[in-house]
Structure 1
Amino acid sequence: MIIRTIANTVIGMANNKPLPSFDDLLTFLVIARTGGFRAAARRLGNSPSTVSETITRLEEELGVPLIIRTTRSVHLTEAGRALADRLEPVVAETRSAIADATSSEGTVRGRLKIQVPGAVMEDILPPILDGFAKAHPEVRVEILVDDRFTDMIATGCDAGIRYGEHLAQDMIATPIGPARQRSALAAAPEYLARRGKPLHPRDVLFHDCIRMRFASGALTDWEFEKDGETLRLDPTARLIIATPGWRAAVKLAIAGHGLIYSFRNWLEPHFETGELAPVLEDWCPDFEGPFLYYSSRLTPRPLRAFIDFVAAQRRQAGETG
C-alpha cells in the first residue's frame, strides 16, 4: 500500500485512475539504466519483444511517450527522464524496506551495490570487501566499476566511492581506505640515461609522456607541488592508455617509452626492483584518500552495516582523517 501511494505521487496520476503495473515501471527503469531494449531484456531475463510491448503498454496507460526509439539508439523523452529520476528513490526505498523486513536481529540481509573508480578496485577495496563479506555472509554485494564519474543514484547504486574532487553534492561522505595517498612520476633508468632526468616539473613538457585517459574522455592530471608552488601540467602524450589498462602503461614505461605519472603505491614495487626510477620525488604531492558517499535520505541496512564496518576498520587501524 505504501509503495502504491508513493508510485501514485511519482506518476502524478489522479487517485481514481488505475496505476500501471509496478513490474512495468521497473521494466521502464531498467531500460533507462541500461540504455537499450536488448540490454534491459538480458537484465530482466525477457525477450526484447516482451520489453517493447511492456513499454508500449505503459505509454498507452500514462498517455505520454517515455522513450524515443531509433534503429540504433534509445533516448528518454523529457517525461521519461522525469519519471525515471523520481522512480529511482522509490525503488531504492522499496529495496531498503524489503532488506529491513527480512533481516532478523543480528543478521543483515539484502543487496549492496556500490559504484567505484577502477583505482579503488586495485588494492584499496578488495581487502575491505573480504572482511565485510565474512562478517555479513547474507549480504549480496555488487560492485560497479565506473571511471566516468556518473551519478551513482542513476546507476541504481546504494553508495559510491570517489576522491574528493569528484564527490557528488548533497551527499554524506566518509573516508574509506588510507587517509592519505601519494602520486609519483617515474621512468625507466634506460630512458633517463638517454633523455636526461627532469630537474623541474616544466622539464616534463620536453619529454615523452605516457598518459592515461578516463572513460569520460578526460586525461588524468599531472600535478606537482613544492614550497607553496603548485603546477598542473598537460604534457603532450606520446602514448595514451585507458585507465583500465594502467598495468600496460607501466610496462611501457619500464620498456623505456617515457615518463609515467600515477599512484605511488602502484609504482613502488618497480622502484624496489629497479625497473623504474622515481623522478621529481620532492614535487609529487600527497592527497586525501577516497571517500564513501551516499544519500542522507536513504540508508538501507546493508549499506549501514558496510558504513559501520568501514568505520570500525579505520578505528582499528588508527585512521582518523
Structure 2
Amino acid sequence: MQQADFADLDVFTAVARARGFRAAAALRGVSASSLSEAVRRLEARLGVRLLNRTTRSVTPTEAGQKLLERLSPALADVALALDEVNAFRDSPTGTLRLNVPSVVAKVVLPRLLPRFLALHPGVAVEVTAEDSFIDVLAAGFDAGVRYDERLEKDMIAVPLSGPQRFVLVASPAYFDTHGRPGHPRDVLEHACIRHRFASGSSYAWEFEKDGEVIRINPTARLTSTNIDLELAACEAGVGLMATFEDFVADALAAGRLESVLDDWLPPFTGPYLYYAGRRHMPAPLRAFVDFLKTER
C-alpha cells in the first residue's frame, strides 16, 4: 500500500472517531478541508461512501463502520511497533492524546503541561476537554482524567494534582442585600447560579460536616454551560454560586467575591490520570506518568 493510502486511512479513522472533520482537525492541528479531501480521495479509491455527512454530524456508513472496526487494531499495532523503536531514543517522541474534564483543562493542566513539554521537546500533546464520560481508549485517546468516583476499576490511576474543594460564593453586594446563609438548607431561600454540563445534567450541591451529608438542588436564577458567564454574573450580584475554588481564587483574593459555609465544604481527592493496565505503554504516556510522579 502506498504511503498516501495509509495516511488517508489514518485520517478516516481520526474523523470517524471524532465524529466530525472540525473536531479531528482541531486535535491534529490541521485544516478541516485537508481532512475532508483525504476522506474523499479514499472513498473515490475504494468506490464506496465511508462517512455520512450532515451539517450537524459525521457518522460512519455501514461500510465505514466495518472498515473502522478492522482498521483500529491494525493502526494500533503499527503505533505499537513504531513506539517500541521509540523506546531506544534518549528522549521520547510522539503524540500524547488526553481526554479531560473542562475544570482540569482550565486549572490543573496549565500548571503541568508547560513544564512537561519543556522536558520532552519531542512530544506533542493533544487535549480534548469535555465533561461527558466516554470510553477513552475506544475513542483513540492514550489516557483520560477523571475524579475518584468516576474511575474504572480495571484502569491504572495516577494522581494528577493535590486535593481540591468546592466553595459557595457571592458578591459582597449580594450578601449586603440578601444576607448570608448560616446552614446549607438556607441556600434554598437564595437566588442561585448553576452550571449545566454538555450532557444536560446539573449536579446537586453537596455539603458535609461532622459526618452529616446534605445534598440540595436549589432553584436556579441563572443556568449556564459557560463558567465565565457564571462567574461574571456572580460578581455582578445575581446570586450564590457553588464551584471549584480554583475558578474563583482571583475573585476571592481581590474581594470581588466572598465565600460562606466553608466549614461545610471540606477538600476532596483531586483528579487522576488513568490508562489501561497493559504491558507496553506508549513512550509519551510513560514519560508523562513518570513526570507526574516527580511532581508529587
TM-score normalized with structure 2 length: 0.84
Q: Which residue of 1 aligns with 2:216?
A: 233
- Aligned-residue offset at 1:78: 6.2
In the aligned structure 2, how far is the partner of 1:59 from the partner of 1:171? 41
Specify whether residues 290 and 72 from structure 1 end up closer, same or farther in structure 2 by C-alpha distance, changes over 3 A only. Answer: closer
Q: Which residue of 2 aligns with 1:158?
A: 142
Q: Which residue of 1 aligns with 2:28?
A: none
Identity %: 45
C-alpha contact 2:165 2:267 (8 A) present in aligned 1: yes
- Aligned-residue offset at 1:151: 2.6
C-alpha contact 1:27 1:54 (8 A) present in aligned 2: no
1:51 aligns with 2:34: no
Q: RMSD between aligned alpha carbons?
A: 2.8
Specify whether residues 90 and 228 from structure 1 end up closer, same or farther in structure 2 by C-alpha distance, changes over 3 A only. Answer: farther
In the aligned structure 1, how far is the partner of 2:153 from the partner of 2:69? 16
**Equivalent residue in structure 2 for 1:257, among 238, 242, 251:** 238
Question: 1:52-89 deviations in whole A, cap 9, x for unaligned?
Answer: 452365475xxxx8655667644335675465356434
Alignment of 1:59-208 (within 5 A): 67-68=51-52, 73-76=57-60, 80-81=64-65, 84-85=68-69, 87-102=71-86, 104-178=88-162, 180-208=163-191
SS at match of 1:203: helix
1:280 aligns with 2:264: no
- Aligned-residue offset at 1:23: 4.6
Specify whether residues 205 and 130 from structure 1 end up closer, same or farther in structure 2 by C-alpha distance, changes over 3 A only. Answer: same
Unaligned 5+ runs, structure 2: 26-30
C-alpha contact 1:59 1:66 (8 A) present in aligned 2: no
Equivalenced residue count is 287
Q: Which residue of 2 aligns with 1:318?
A: none
Question: In the alignment, residue 122 of structure 2 is paired with which amino acid?
Answer: E
Question: In the alignment, residue 202 of structure 1 is paired with which amino acid?
Answer: R
Larger of the two Rg values belongs to structure: 1
In the aligned structure 2, how far is the partner of 1:259 from the partner of 1:133? 38
In the aligned structure 2, how far is the partner of 1:59 from the partner of 1:221? 52
Q: Which residue of 1 aligns with 2:194?
A: 211
In the aligned structure 1, how far is the partner of 2:69 from the partner of 2:209? 45
1:313 aligns with 2:279: no
In the aligned structure 2, how far is the partner of 1:93 from the partner of 1:239? 49
Residue range with higher mean Cα deviation, 141-150 or 100-109: 100-109
Specify whether residues 110 and 40 from structure 1 end up closer, same or farther in structure 2 by C-alpha distance, changes over 3 A only. Answer: closer
SS at match of 1:310: helix
C-alpha contact 2:21 2:32 (8 A) present in aligned 1: no
C-alpha contact 2:95 2:124 (8 A) present in aligned 1: yes
Specify whether residues 270 and 83 from structure 1 end up closer, same or farther in structure 2 by C-alpha distance, changes over 3 A only. Answer: same
C-alpha contact 1:85 1:154 (8 A) present in aligned 2: no
In the aligned structure 2, how far is the partner of 1:312 from the partner of 1:254? 38
Residue range with higher mean Cα deviation, 25-34 or 118-127: 25-34
Question: In the alignment, residue 266 of structure 1 is paired with which amino acid?
Answer: F
TM-score normalized with structure 1 length: 0.78
Alignment of 1:22-41 (within 5 A): 22-23=6-7, 25-36=9-20
Question: In the alignment, residue 170 of structure 2 is paired with which amino acid?
Answer: A
Question: 1:5-59 deviations in whole A, cap 9, x for unaligned?
Answer: xxxxxxxxxxxxxxxx6455434313312324687684582554x6245236547
Specify whether residues 121 and 68 from structure 1 end up closer, same or farther in structure 2 by C-alpha distance, changes over 3 A only. Answer: closer
- Aligned-residue offset at 1:296: 1.8
Alignment of 1:266-277 (within 5 A): 266-277=247-258
In the aligned structure 1, how far is the partner of 2:35 from the partner of 2:227? 37
- Aligned-residue offset at 1:249: 1.5
C-alpha contact 2:9 2:42 (8 A) present in aligned 1: no
In the aligned structure 1, how far is the partner of 2:23 from the partner of 2:178? 49
C-alpha contact 1:187 1:254 (8 A) present in aligned 2: yes
In the aligned structure 1, how far is the partner of 2:24 from the partner of 2:117? 28
